[in-house]
Structure 1
Amino acid sequence: MRFQLGWSLVWATLILAGCASSRPAATTSGRSAVDYNSYNEDLSSTRPVYNAPLTNVTPVTRSAAPSATAPAPTATRKNEIRKPNPPIEALHVNRELDLILDTIAIKNRTVRYAPGFRIQVYVGNQRQDADAVKLLIYQNFPELSPYLSYNQPTYRLKVGDFMRRIDAERYYASIRRLISSAQLQADKVDIRRSLLIK
């Protein structure tokens, strides 16, 4: 028993010694005795050096007040002001970039469906029941588009085109109060209709 107590004291002492601070003790005013203002380290060897070429620079004399329509000149050196002249290569790159962005925009307009979420509100064999649920949803949520599918002998009614799950869950909570058997499901959604849902 004494042996275990002795080892426990040894371990407790080692743990407390390991947790002790290596900083000097605080002075009576509550501040540390370390002077951080005297810290000095030369970082010039690790800093990157950028030597920008000064091509296409037109020196401009300073005027009393810049005009409201002219762009603000940029300072290059202490007393020199320049107006940037865009290089021809930059204009060429911008044209190519605009062409690529236009191509992507045209391709994106052809995409009609994307992965998203819909809420399944009815699964059953009765068309009348599916139509009744469809009418109930339309009366309470006119912004949600209904999708009725039939795979013999089952009718499935899904509503909504949600791109984000958080939007679907917000409607799901409201629909679940009306129809307790509603389920949130991943599905392909119509992108244009999903933008109409608030």
Structure 2
Amino acid sequence: MNRPVLKILLVTPLLALAACAGTAAQAPRASAPSTDTTRKPVATAAPLPAEDVTKYRPVFAAPKTVPVAAAPAVKTAVPPTNAVNAQVEQRLRDQAYTNQNVKYAQGYRLLVYLGLERDQVMAIRRSIIGRYPDETDYITFKSPVYRLYIGDYLTKLDAARAMARLRGLTPKLELEATQVLLNKNP
């Protein structure tokens, strides 16, 4: 290795160390150490007299007393004549009319069969509908796969209850989130 390269390699860390040492906080130095170690009495300052600040404090007048009535006033209850005004009733009617036009909502269906055999799909469908006739069923066919869905459930809890009922009737049960039909029959 060349001497100039070695010097540069050694000088650079030394300069960085010197710069760090120069910026470090230092303890204050005494100008000349004293050899006298006897304790000298310190002069205590006389306590200052307390300043009177009462002239600066705000002064408030005492609150006026209100005479209390001897007998409390009797309140009469007024029954409401019309709790909902006409505008609110109209808006509720408009919202009900709008809701009547809604046919679909986000919900759940049970996938009970996914396979290639049509006869097996129909057999599972017959066994489920035979036991639970109020359940709706949907068979979809995308060549060559048949899918059998059961139910239109708005909540996951309802779908889980139906899944527990159908557990022994089908080889496979899956819960799928999908768009379901709303039952509008009153």
TM-score (norm 2): 0.54
**Deviation of the 1:82 alpha carbon:** 4.3
2-side partners of 1:94 and 1:80: how far apart?
A: 29
Residue 100 of structure 2 corresponds to residue 109 of structure 1: yes
Identity, in percent, stands at: 29
Aligned to 1:74: none
1:15-73 per-position Cα deviation (integer Å, ceiling 9, x unaligned): xxxxxxxxxxxxxxxxxxxxxxxxxxxxxxxxxxxxxxxxxxxxxxxxxxxxxxxxxxx
**Residues 1-198 of structure 1: matches in 2 within 5 Å?**
78-82=72-76, 84=78, 94-192=85-183
Secondary structure (helix, strand or coil) at the match of 1:102 reads helix
Question: Moved runs in structure 1, 4+ residues, more than 2 A?
Answer: 77-87
**Deviation of the 1:192 alpha carbon:** 0.5
Q: Give the AA of the match of 1:117.
A: Y
TM-score (norm 1): 0.51
Unaligned runs of 5+ in 2: 1-70
CA-atom RMSD, angstroms?
A: 2.8
Q: Indicate the structure whose relative CO is greater, using CA pairs within 8 Å and at least 6 residues apart.
A: 2
**Deviation of the 1:152 alpha carbon:** 1.9
Q: Give the AA of the match of 1:79.
A: A
Q: Is the CA contact (8 Å cut-off) linking 2:111 and 2:173 kept in structure 1?
A: yes
| Number of corresponding residues | 116
1-side partners of 2:76 and 2:163: how far apart?
A: 60
1-side partners of 2:115 and 2:86: how far apart?
A: 57
**Deviation of the 1:85 alpha carbon:** 8.5
**Deviation of the 1:84 alpha carbon:** 3.9
Change (3 A) 1:186 1:157: same
Q: Give the AA of the match of 2:161.
A: R
Aligned to 2:21: none
Secondary structure (helix, strand or coil) at the match of 1:177 reads coil
2-side partners of 1:79 and 1:103: how far apart?
A: 45
1-side partners of 2:171 and 2:146: how far apart?
A: 17
Q: Is the CA contact (8 Å cut-off) linking 2:124 and 2:169 kept in structure 1?
A: no
Aligned to 2:28: none
Secondary structure (helix, strand or coil) at the match of 2:72 reads coil
Unaligned runs of 5+ in 1: 1-76
Q: Give the AA of the match of 1:167.
A: D
